[in-house]
Chain A
Amino acid sequence: MFSVFRDLIRYNLEFAIGVVLVTVVLIFAGLSFVSPVDPITIYAAIPDMPPSAQYWFGTNSRGQDLFWQMTFALRNTLTFGLTVALISRVIAIAVGLAAGYLGGWVDRVLMFFCDIFVAIPIFPILILFYFVLRSDMNTMNLALIMASFGWPFDARLIRSVAVGLRHREFTRHAVFAGMSAPKIMLEEHLPYVMPIIFSTAMANMIWSIGLEVTLAVLGFTNLNIPTIGTAIYWANNHSAMIVGVWWWILIPVIIVVLLFIGLFLLAVSLNEYIDPRSRLRRMGA
């Protein structure tokens, strides 16, 4: 595991940049645990101060220190993204491995549902949920809803690998040795799809955080929870661009873009690592 990581850093510039970006973002989010400021309090600092030595990211029109505000926002956004990724990974693994290994009508039924979920445009459905839930649309509920839509692409990918594994020698050995089907899937096949799970988890986080930011910016989530999206929402709400408080908008946008590029580079380079042909080409072999 460690040698894989070392090789990736050494031979893959994209992976190295991705690791740096994500680490920076994680450390920044981690600062929220030592924050001297309560993220809910407003008018705790002088409003509309541009970035300075005292307020690194400036303050907003609600009198909040943007630096500490952003640490909380980023932490909540990341927690949300990780929750969605985790839950949807579990569904994707279960569906993908079962469809691939069991085959037959199980495969057909599961892939049928998969195709249905792929074809439904998520944004109108999310709005519909907000319409019903209103202020109950908190981070956890939104994460559950998004997770139930975020698995089908990846389940298909996992299935395609699992189909290939089913006919391999070791699977037959395991069957003859009396291993049960769930055990074969979890102990024999799961390790093979782990790289896919990692790389799709990154892509999934980009997707879910992107939608969360969008919903929040439109005002369709619980706006009292500080996230990157709600930060932009409040900036818009106070017409930050027109008033000239540009840092209030620019800083959350920069943070979220850095996070996305970091996650994306990790996903791409892991994908490349999965494919041995492109890996060899990169290492110059």
Chain B
Amino acid sequence: MKSYLFFVLRRLAQLIAVIFAGVTAAFFIAHLSPVSPVESIIGRVSGQSSYSPEAVEALRQTLTELFGLDVPLHEQYFNFLGRLIVGDLGPSLIAFPTPAMRIVALALPWTLGLMVVQILIAWFIGNIFGGLAGYYQNSRSLKAVGVVAIAIQPIPYYIVAFLIVIVFGYLWPVLPISGGFAMNVRPSFTPEFIFSVLHHALLPTLALVISGIGTWFLGMRALVSNVVTEDYVTYAELAGVDQRRIVTSYVIRNAMVPQLTALAMALGLIFSGTVITEQVFAYPGLGSLLVRAVNGGDSAVVLAVSCVAVIAVATAIFIIDMIHPLLDPRVKAE
């Protein structure tokens, strides 16, 4: 128990370091931008009607203060860290004056939902079939699945999503290809709304699962085909242990642990993939928001999305790492 506590503390320190490094990088990249949010707003306001130079100057001062740009860069950085802890990253530009964090908070559940469902489906199905394919190496149908997995695995998220839109949008239009829910449904906890959300989530999830499942299938097959040659498997076979039991609790279970580490390592990439796929399906998550914010020149929202992404991914990796020693007692000993 004590060693587990030590493990948790060490990983916690790492989590904080990752978040700190990520948001610091995001802040300094964002503040190299030549696009000034203050001048953009002034440009938009004075484009609608003309104001006296004094009024514009007063507006400029107020806005500079509002965005916290009236102090040197290092002080801005410390202010930024302080405000990030309380979850305030200033007003957004695309929906001025709604706080950027509020817009991000509205988009986050969509992305998280898509991502969690996608991982659960792709990871479990991929691992189970991969495990079977690694154990029954002479099965024709599992070999065929392997060929399909090899063909699909390297295709990037965007292309898969795009092909699905073409198939279901132009060739066989049966499922909705854009949006998070039907336009005539009011967002609330009614069966109608929930059905609409699930209905619209089908294709994005399908795209993500298709592009994610191959990795897990091939990884698990390779792992299992190594585990199968271990002595304890041969021994169990000779001792007449039920074959189904060997596959599930002897082989797949042992090979599952490295796959969990692989999941933690790949999480940043999976998150990026989810964000990309959302854009194709016009799903109301972080991805669409990010693209909209970039096109609108909204540095507050872009920065907020980046920070939230770093924090969310790092926390998820931390949680997976916490499960790890519970499955594999050897990790604790290290």
Residues in A lying within 8 Å of B, measured CB to CB: 14, 112, 115-116, 118-125, 127-132, 153, 206-207, 210-211, 213-214, 217-218, 220, 232, 241, 249, 253, 256-257, 260-261, 263-265, 268, 271, 275, 277-278, 281
Known contacts A128-B303, A211-B156, A214-B156; 14 further A-B pairs (Cβ under 8 A): A119-B310, A120-B25, A121-B271, A124-B26, A124-B290, A125-B25, A125-B29, A128-B306, A132-B29, A132-B32, A217-B162, A241-B170, A253-B162, A268-B218
CA distance A206 to B170 in the complex (A): 28
Bitwise, B310-321 to A at CB < 8 A (1) or not (0) is 100110010000
Q: Which of B8-27 contact A (CB under 8 A)?
A: 14, 17-18, 21-22, 25-26
Q: Is the beta-carbon distance between A213 and B156 smaller than 8 angstroms?
A: yes
* B151 to A, closest residue via Cβ: A261
Q: Is the beta-carbon distance between A120 and B159 smaller than 8 angstroms?
A: no
- Number of residues from B at the complex interface, CB < 8 A: 54
B185: interface (CB < 8 Å): no
CA distance A207 to B35 in the complex (A): 30
Q: Which of B155-186 contact A (CB under 8 A)?
A: 155-159, 162-163, 166, 170
CA distance A211 to B268 in the complex (A): 13
Q: Is the beta-carbon distance between A115 and B18 smaller than 8 angstroms?
A: yes
CB distance from A265 to the nearest CB of B (A): 7
User: Which A residues are CB-close (under 8 A) to B25?
Assistant: 120, 125
B309: interface (CB < 8 Å): yes
Q: Is the beta-carbon distance between B154 and A263 smaller than 8 angstroms?
A: yes
* B13 to A, closest residue via Cβ: A112
Q: Is the beta-carbon distance between B14 and A210 smaller than 8 angstroms?
A: no
Chain B: interface secondary structure? helix
CB distance from A167 to the nearest CB of B (A): 18
CA distance A278 to B221 in the complex (A): 12
Q: Is the beta-carbon distance between A127 and B294 smaller than 8 angstroms?
A: yes
CA distance A207 to B211 in the complex (A): 13
Contact of B150 among A14, A119, A122 (CB under 8 A): A14
Q: Is the beta-carbon distance between A132 and B33 smaller than 8 angstroms?
A: yes
User: Which A residues are CB-close (under 8 A) to B14?
Assistant: 112, 115
- A-contacting 9-mer, from B76-84, B94-102, B272-280: B272-280
B305: interface (CB < 8 Å): yes
Q: Is the beta-carbon distance between A120 and B22 smaller than 8 angstroms?
A: yes
CA distance A257 to B160 in the complex (A): 10
CA distance A65 to B183 in the complex (A): 41
Q: Is the beta-carbon distance between A253 and B159 smaller than 8 angstroms?
A: yes
B205: interface (CB < 8 Å): no
B265: interface (CB < 8 Å): yes
User: Which A residues are CB-close (under 8 A) to B18?
Assistant: 115-116, 119-120
Contact of B265 among A118, A261, A278 (CB under 8 A): A118
B302: interface (CB < 8 Å): yes
Contact of B154 among A218, A249, A261 (CB under 8 A): A261
B92: interface (CB < 8 Å): no
CB distance from A165 to the nearest CB of B (A): 21
Bitwise, B35-48 to A at CB < 8 A (1) or not (0) is 10000000000000
Contact of B156 among A131, A210, A271, A277 (CB under 8 A): A210
Q: Is the beta-carbon distance between B155 and A218 smaller than 8 angstroms?
A: no
Q: Is the beta-carbon distance between A123 and B154 smaller than 8 angstroms?
A: no
CA distance A129 to B25 in the complex (A): 11
CA distance A270 to B119 in the complex (A): 28
Bitwise, B273-314 to A at CB < 8 A (1) or not (0) is 101100100000000001100100001001101100110011
Q: A112-B17, A132-B32, A214-B158 are in contact. Are A127 and B153 (CB under 8 A)?
A: no
Q: Is the beta-carbon distance between B229 and A120 smaller than 8 angstroms?
A: no
Q: A119-B268, A257-B155 are in contact. Are A128 and B30 (CB under 8 A)?
A: yes
Q: Which of B250-275 contact A (CB under 8 A)?
A: 265, 267-269, 271-273, 275
Q: 13 A-B contacts, Cβ less than 8 Å apart? A: A116-B21, A120-B313, A121-B275, A123-B273, A124-B290, A125-B25, A128-B30, A211-B156, A214-B158, A241-B166, A256-B159, A260-B156, A263-B154
B3: interface (CB < 8 Å): no
CB distance from A210 to the nearest CB of B (A): 3
User: Which A residues are CB-close (under 8 A) to B272?
Assistant: 121-124, 211
Q: Is the beta-carbon distance between A128 and B279 smaller than 8 angstroms?
A: no
Q: Is the beta-carbon distance between A124 and B305 smaller than 8 angstroms?
A: yes
User: Which A residues are CB-close (under 8 A) to B154?
Assistant: 206, 260-261, 263-264
B248: interface (CB < 8 Å): no
* B271 to A, closest residue via Cβ: A121
Q: A120-B310, A220-B294, A253-B159 are in contact. Are A128 and B275 (CB under 8 A)?
A: no
Enumerate the 3 nearest inter-chain pairs by beta-carbon distance, A residue then B residue, closest first.
A210-B156, A123-B272, A264-B154
User: Which B residues are CB-close (under 8 A) to A116?
Assistant: 17-18, 21-22
CB distance from B1 to the nearest CB of A (A): 25
User: Which A residues are CB-close (under 8 A) to B268?
Assistant: 118-122
Q: Is the beta-carbon distance between A131 and B17 smaller than 8 angstroms?
A: no
CA distance A233 to B303 in the complex (A): 25
